[in-house]
Structure 1
């Protein structure tokens, strides 16, 4: 009501009658069915972090406590479930029956993330497995079988062929399937239904997807097989499925693959003229740069997403000139790929008119002039830049970033030990341009990571009355382990970035009073706080967080020697929204004092 009163007070309404008429018209408008069906609900907390929907119960095997849906949640499901389009239950332990109950009301669900949810498919827990009941599958399929297009099943060790068959029978229009980290049996000679997850059965299920699935359309579907033991023959079998189309393939850290498997896939009809997204990071020992050369030769005109972290391209590689053909690229990750910075400069071309995200981390030999050449050629199109661990970059590179990337939204520069305060606040005397520009001139910034930049101190973020250090759109600020982060600096942070969602001030001089003021000023927005290594914090800091930020999702208080383990347990039990709590080596000084 206070919000509505403030809005109405700003309107040019001459008398009480006009106010009443305006309010009535507003109520009439938002009550119309047409408006209700089109509006998008903005919940107080995003449902991607759903641990607050759960309560702790001991499982039947006595192996500890799991999270189960609270009894009070289920009756209210029909009130909010129909508006949910993306639901993540990552690393929770939902009860299969309760999850099925919720899904029957999620008529608009597009994406479902079940990463690490072993309880749904583990018979040892005693409950019926997820979607094991035919009537349950029919009810969910009728509700969202044709709307759900993205299914994430990563890191589920208990997944079997039978479970996967039930999932595919229920969700028949899948276009994005993530099975990263799952335990597959890639033996292609056994296609019988087994109690473990077999790749032949998965291929059979993909081939039987409904025609509405993008895997059956020319635009193609997306498949994630990161960190699995997928083999060359398995990729060959995948590419040989009749009528299949693949627009995206993620094969990070697949150590069993060789050139043969990649080439089987890229030369097949399944990816012809539709492969737009590839992620081949951390290749196996049998893979050569021939794979990337063929990829760029065949698909350079349509590639939009390329991730090639940890490849080593030799000096005589044909990769740099081939990269210049990729005019449609929007995301490029070439971290630690080139042995020479000059090869990197030659690869990142001015032809990348669509490039918005660039990852160049890990180039210890990258110099200021190299980065300047790259950014100047990209013509102000970058929105995300990662130059972390580029140890030889100096404030001149910061000048290049501020000059040539004015629309930057994400800037990652952790471990850049050549950056100093003068580069953050004002350009150094050897700047490339005559106009002084600082990091605070990038008004579109939403995320900044300067952790472990040892020559940057807290004075860069000390806000005086005469300064105009305002980054109102900034949502994430990570300045952990930089120099001289004392209380006066930390108290300036809310003035610089009043809308922070993520704050990392690890190994700073923050004390209980500082945390109390910070959490009070950022109480409406702050959801992730990292204060590891802050040696002045006590149990009182946890009390302030509990009082001021009840919706906190992530907290790291590791290596805080005066915070007691008992206070940590009490805090954890009192924070229903808390998703992740890291508290290793807490209370070490208290223990040593007790021993002495």
Structure 2
């Protein structure tokens, strides 16, 4: 009704006009939460003047030239209305930024990530006073990727933003991301002890100077933290892990990726954190998984992991994998075992879901309500079954009894087994990968698997939306033909370096995979560009078709990806 009334009003004031086309998208009255991206240079003056007619706006720019004209236009036309300014990786100089900031009196969010900011920024008192007045209402400040960020510069910036400085009195700040900066152990200790500060999320990825002691101090003073990213903090050891387990009882996510000095020590203590749902230990080369199993086998409460990454953890063996499957079967949704070179068919077989057995002709039915008669024992209830540790003896029995399985990963949604080079078709096809709720599966760089694996996965995992079989040379048109009819939900398919595929495979995808959005067939030398273009025209949702070197073409002809025309 609103749009109609505006259209009628326009017509009443234009008697000589027979019709009016009204587009609400072009009327600033109906536009909300818009962010404009453009170079802040003389060439954009008309656009900038148009933005000044809006009540408020956000601005993201990757280039701000040093001309006086550009600074003047931004100051006069946008200063009083600009609520958000993002300069990620911009070439703006410190002098230009100092000249601009005092005029941005309405600013609420400021992104300075990636700037080359030296130690003299805001060193003069008059500059700090001007910036402090302008940024009195600033609520969010992004300082990530500031390579030369020092304690002195950090203190100057926060000192010019009164709303942020109130962390000394209030708990208004909930998260900090200082990843890939020169954040020092002393700085972490200082932040942790700010009076009234109660962080929920802290990301310090790539802060390589941090020490175990600084993590201990932080965990002691910030017990309410829920998300902690300490990946690529290469000086940390298992002592930091123990501090996290002891001090952060409500932790939900922990990333220790590429912390090469971390060992099994302390991981058992982590597993008794009842709220822990995500654990990333990728490329922690000294982790064997034994302590994780030990912690998960402890009495309740214990972690119910939903996401676990053990990528490139080369010390993990079959026994640990079996036990993890047993202990996490009911909760695990995402499992990354990429580049786990010791993963075998035996390992994967123990994740097999149970068979659905029809009881129609299997004897009499039983009730779960029992009187005083004790003719028979009541059937076991699902919640009475307790997880059991897998022993070497049980492992030996399993090797002798093919098909045995202790547990299922019933809730698994994401599984990555890429580059587990010892896997064969038997691990995929013989009652193993049968997860009806699995959505994302990667089986790339597995030279031993064939069309049988692809067909089995498609038949038993019909909820798949993303499937990767790149660098699997034994996948052919026959496998695609067998799998495609069961992949109606598939949106992303990666088949690069599958050299046995031809145009016939694309025809099957066009026929059965109508929801496909992304297709990667790079290096498939028997697929023609003509068929690629036909596929693109036939699939309604296709967005990207990666087709480098298709048809055996050289780099100058086909090193690109196709996307639908506007």
Query: Which residue does the alignment assign to 1:381?
Result: 331
Query: Which residue does the alignment assign to 1:459?
Result: 452
Where does the alignment leave 5 or more consecutive residues of structure 2 unmatched? 4-22, 132-145, 354-407
CA 1:280–1:314 in 2, change beyond 3 Å: closer, same or farther?
A: closer
1:406 to 400, 406, 410: 410
Whether the aligned pair in 2 keeps the contact of 1:407 and 1:444 (CA below 8 Å) is: yes
1:302 match: secondary structure: coil
Provide the C-alpha distance between the structure 1 equivalents of 2:168 and 2:51, rounded to a whole number of angstroms.
Answer: 27
CA 1:165–1:213 in 2, change beyond 3 Å: closer, same or farther?
A: farther
1:122 to 39, 48, 64: 64
1:332 match: secondary structure: strand
TM-score (norm 1): 0.64
2:420 to 392, 416, 420: 416
1:398 match: secondary structure: helix
2:204 to 247, 251, 254: 251
Shift in Å, 1:542: 3.8
Whether the aligned pair in 1 keeps the contact of 2:480 and 2:508 (CA below 8 Å) is: no
CA 1:571–1:446 in 2, change beyond 3 Å: closer, same or farther?
A: closer
Q: Which digits, 9 at most, give the CA deviation of each residue in 1:459-487, with x for residues without a partner? A: 22237xxx981544211001111242111
Whether the aligned pair in 2 keeps the contact of 1:188 and 1:234 (CA below 8 Å) is: no
TM-score (norm 2): 0.67
1:444 to 433, 437, 441: 437
- Matched positions, count: 463
Provide the C-alpha distance between the structure 2 equivalents of 1:233 and 1:413, rounded to a whole number of angstroms.
Answer: 41
Whether the aligned pair in 1 keeps the contact of 2:204 and 2:230 (CA below 8 Å) is: yes
Query: Which residue does the alignment assign to 1:68?
Result: none
1:123 match: secondary structure: coil
2:251 to 303, 320, 331: 303
Query: Which residue does the alignment assign to 2:518?
Result: 528
Whether the aligned pair in 2 keeps the contact of 1:215 and 1:221 (CA below 8 Å) is: no
Where does the alignment leave 5 or more consecutive residues of structure 1 unmatched? 1-30, 34-72, 146-150, 428-437, 578-596
Provide the C-alpha distance between the structure 2 equivalents of 1:106 and 1:472, rounded to a whole number of angstroms.
Answer: 50
1:491 match: secondary structure: helix
Provide the C-alpha distance between the structure 1 equivalents of 2:72 and 2:491, rounded to a whole number of angstroms.
Answer: 34
Range with bigger deviation, 549-558 or 412-421 = 549-558
Query: Which residue does the alignment assign to 2:477?
Result: 487
Greater Rg by CA: 2
Provide the C-alpha distance between the structure 1 equivalents of 2:236 and 2:121, rounded to a whole number of angstroms.
Answer: 22
2:509 match: secondary structure: helix
| 1:325 paired to 2:272 | yes
Whether the aligned pair in 2 keeps the contact of 1:359 and 1:386 (CA below 8 Å) is: yes
Provide the C-alpha distance between the structure 2 equivalents of 1:100 and 1:447, rounded to a whole number of angstroms.
Answer: 47
Range with bigger deviation, 250-259 or 232-241 = 232-241
Provide the C-alpha distance between the structure 1 equivalents of 2:540 and 2:51, rounded to a whole number of angstroms.
Answer: 25
Query: Which residue does the alignment assign to 1:172?
Result: 108
1:515 to 506, 523, 544: 506
Shift in Å, 1:78: 5.6
Q: Which digits, 9 at most, give the CA deviation of each residue in 1:493-512, with x for residues without a partner? A: 43222122211111112223
Q: Which digits, 9 at most, give the CA deviation of each residue in 1:358-400, with x for residues without a partner? A: 1111122322221121121225111111111112122233233
Whether the aligned pair in 1 keeps the contact of 2:484 and 2:508 (CA below 8 Å) is: no
Task: Give runs of aligned pairs for residues 9-88 of structure 1, distance below 5 A.
Answer: 76=26, 82=32
